[in-house]
Structure 1
Amino acid sequence: MVIFKQNRYIALLVGVILVCFSAINLLHPGQVAEGKLNTVQMSNLQSGGGSRQPLQITYGTLATQKRISGIQHPKLSAAAVALSPLWKTEKLNLHQLTQVRAKAKPATVIQVKAAALKPAPNAQKMQQKTATATKGSQTAVKKVAATQLNPPTTLFFSRTKLLSQDQRSKATWHYAVSEEDLLLLQKIVMAEAEGEPYQGKVAVANVVLNRLRSANFPDTIYKVIHQKRQFSPVANGRLKRVKPNADSIKAVNAALSGVKEVTDDTYYFLSLTLAQDLTVHHSQTYVKTIGNHTFYK
């Protein structure tokens, strides 16, 4: 006390230091408590109505940031109030968030894929019908291909048509095809329709088999083909000279297996450009034209 009385300026200096320390403590209580520095830089701040420069605020730890809301300066208080919701937000646990996403994401993806891949009930029925129809058509094609390579040796007829092998129970009579019959049938197709399309070759074989079935024509393949004034290759000798090619053999096998390019009541055909006798053209009913041949019933 004696020192203070003798040196009054020392007491004044100590008082100023205490006032400064108290002011710092009031402005930044968190810094004094925690020993960490948080700076608030205010430049060109005026107490009057003059212009004020923007405040530059540097925040420290989360605890200090929460305490800054107690600052009495108007602008600092407003900034603290605006930022206070952010300070109160709890920290996210990134490890837990990653685990949640890892568990949820695959399940979501699997559900979406399952929903996308699962067809509607009507679509499933259509797919089943399509698959069944496809299998049936494939089976039929395979059967036809097999019979075309190995044609049947027995033909089954009703009174109006040639029956398939599966319809033999409906037959009124049957015909055994010999090797001579098969070769003769191939040769007549080759002689009559060598330059015709494949469908035209099958149609010529159909006409011969239709005549074989009909009561108005002979009852064997040989007699049908050699009937007088019916097939021109027989009369001019071409039938004996020709050798059946692969297309003619295939067409005959198809006709014997039940493939039909003309109806079962088709008994005639001729080439309008080459025929000298057009009696059939004027007296019979037109069926269709394939290549250069016109077919009649």
Structure 2
Amino acid sequence: MAIFKQNRCIALLVGVILVCFSAISLLGSEGTAKGKNTVQMNHLNSKGQASALTLSSEASTSLVRTKNTPKPMLYTTAANLFHTQRIRQTLEWISPDILKPKGTAVRTGILRQKAAVVKSTPPMVQQVAKTAVAKGSQTVITQKTAIQQHPPTQLFFSRTKLLSQEQRGQATWSYAVSEEDLLLLQKIVMAEAEGEPYQGKVAVANVVLNRLRSANFPDTIHDVIYQKSQFSPVGNGRLKRVKPNGDSIKAVTAALSGTKAVTDDTYFFLSLKLAQDLTVHHSRQYAKKIGNHTFYK
């Protein structure tokens, strides 16, 4: 200590040496610590990588084990519920039509189309049928028109009535209508029923034909009309003056063809307003009234 006190330079030198030595010591210790820390960090990193690899291998192993090992009750229940719900949703979206084979639906549609085709009548067949019906109707109309324009020239009678042309097989006798008979019948209808309705004209012609059939009257149309005191137009000369109109001609043709406005047992008629002799009215059975004429049996 005395030396240091005596020589301050030496003391300062020693101090500097100590400071340097301390600094060197400190630097050496820091380098060693850094080396140790680096070694430790590398060691830790290697350990971390190894741990990660270990964890990944363990995780994969645990997954494999999880597939093969029974799960806890809570997990399996939830999984089953989820799986059931998905199945229900799938079933709800499945319709019966989807479950049917596609071939069945196609065949069913084809069969229905075939059935519809069979049930429905083809347009061509319908047209042919309509044409046939129209032709049939036209034929009937043509026949009626021909009959109206050309009345039958042969009349067929049974004991009680005038027969139609189709009933000729039941006739007990027949009568040939001449042109003179036809004109005379048209004139008597015109003279007796000019102002009467069409049915009244047909009824007058029916009375003449009923008398022709009956055994109580003459056997020809001429003789029936000209029988004494039977038809007033014959007595007053009107029968010769009249010219038959269209309705009178048509009514006579209809009566000869079988149209009957009165029954086959009607033989008389008169106008109660104009008749002077009412013997028929009081002695005969009333049958029908058409227009101004009253008909009797």
Which TM-score tier does this pair reach, normalised by the shorter chain? 0.5 to 0.7
How far the C-alpha of 1:107 sits from its partner, in A, is: 1.3
How far the C-alpha of 1:241 sits from its partner, in A, is: 2.6
The one-letter code of the counterpart of 1:187 is: K
For residues 6 and 173 of structure 1, what CA distance do their matches in structure 2 show? 149
How far the C-alpha of 1:286 sits from its partner, in A, is: 1.0
Equivalences for residues 76-95 of structure 1 within 5 A: 76=79, 78-83=81-86
How far the C-alpha of 1:191 sits from its partner, in A, is: 1.8
Larger radius of gyration: 2
Is 1:7 equivalent to 2:10 in the alignment? Answer: no
User: Number of residue pairs matched?
Assistant: 232
Asked whether the equivalents of residues 208 and 224 of structure 1 are also in contact (C-alpha less than 8 Å), the reply is yes
How far the C-alpha of 1:287 sits from its partner, in A, is: 1.1
Equivalences for residues 133-148 of structure 1 within 5 A: 146-148=146-148
For residues 113 and 179 of structure 1, what CA distance do their matches in structure 2 show? 59
Q: Equivalent residue for 2:105?
A: 101
Q: Equivalent residue for 1:19?
A: 55
For residues 72 and 27 of structure 1, what CA distance do their matches in structure 2 show? 15
For residues 199 and 264 of structure 1, what CA distance do their matches in structure 2 show? 15
Equivalences for residues 270-285 of structure 1 within 5 A: 270-285=270-285
Distance 1:27 1:278, change over 3 A: farther
For residues 17 and 81 of structure 1, what CA distance do their matches in structure 2 show? 38
Asked whether the equivalents of residues 193 and 200 of structure 1 are also in contact (C-alpha less than 8 Å), the reply is yes
How far the C-alpha of 1:180 sits from its partner, in A, is: 1.3
Equivalences for residues 171-186 of structure 1 within 5 A: 171-186=171-186
Q: Equivalent residue for 1:162?
A: 162
Distance 1:21 1:108, change over 3 A: farther
SS of corresponding position for 2:147: helix
Q: Equivalent residue for 1:196?
A: 196
Please give the root-mean-square deviation of Cα atoms over the aligned residues, in Å: 4.2
Provide structure 1 residue ranges, at least 5 long, that are not aligned to the other structure: 30-70, 118-135
Provide structure 2 residue ranges, at least 5 long, that are not aligned to the other structure: 1-38, 66-73, 121-135
Distance 1:237 1:73, change over 3 A: same
How far the C-alpha of 1:77 sits from its partner, in A, is: 5.4
For residues 60 and 238 of structure 2, what CA distance do their matches in structure 1 show? 130
Q: Residue by residue, what CA displacement relative to the aligned partner does 1:60-117 show, whole Å, maximum 9, x if unpaired?
A: xxxxxxxxxxx958645532353257789xx9xx9x9554432332114545776x77
Is 1:213 equivalent to 2:213 in the alignment? Answer: yes
Q: Residue by residue, what CA displacement relative to the aligned partner does 1:223-243 show, whole Å, maximum 9, x if unpaired?
A: 222223322222333322322
How far the C-alpha of 1:266 sits from its partner, in A, is: 0.8
Asked whether the equivalents of residues 196 and 292 of structure 1 are also in contact (C-alpha less than 8 Å), the reply is yes
For residues 217 and 268 of structure 2, what CA distance do their matches in structure 1 show? 12
The one-letter code of the counterpart of 1:19 is: L
For residues 255 and 157 of structure 2, what CA distance do their matches in structure 1 show? 13
**TM-score, normalised to structure 1's length?**
0.61
Asked whether the equivalents of residues 208 and 267 of structure 1 are also in contact (C-alpha less than 8 Å), the reply is yes
How far the C-alpha of 1:188 sits from its partner, in A, is: 1.1
Distance 1:82 1:173, change over 3 A: closer
Give the percent of matched residue pairs that are identical in Structure 1 and Structure 2.
59
Q: Equivalent residue for 2:69?
A: none
- More helix as a share of residues: 2
Asked whether the equivalents of residues 144 and 257 of structure 1 are also in contact (C-alpha less than 8 Å), the reply is no
Asked whether the equivalents of residues 4 and 10 of structure 1 are also in contact (C-alpha less than 8 Å), the reply is no
How far the C-alpha of 1:18 sits from its partner, in A, is: 5.3
Q: Residue by residue, what CA displacement relative to the aligned partner does 1:199-223 show, whole Å, maximum 9, x if unpaired?
A: 2211110101111222322222222
Distance 1:28 1:219, change over 3 A: farther
For residues 188 and 62 of structure 2, what CA distance do their matches in structure 1 show? 124
The one-letter code of the counterpart of 2:51 is: G
For residues 284 and 41 of structure 2, what CA distance do their matches in structure 1 show? 154
How far the C-alpha of 1:13 sits from its partner, in A, is: 5.5
**TM-score, normalised to structure 2's length?**
0.61
Q: Equivalent residue for 1:60?
A: none
For residues 226 and 169 of structure 1, what CA distance do their matches in structure 2 show? 31
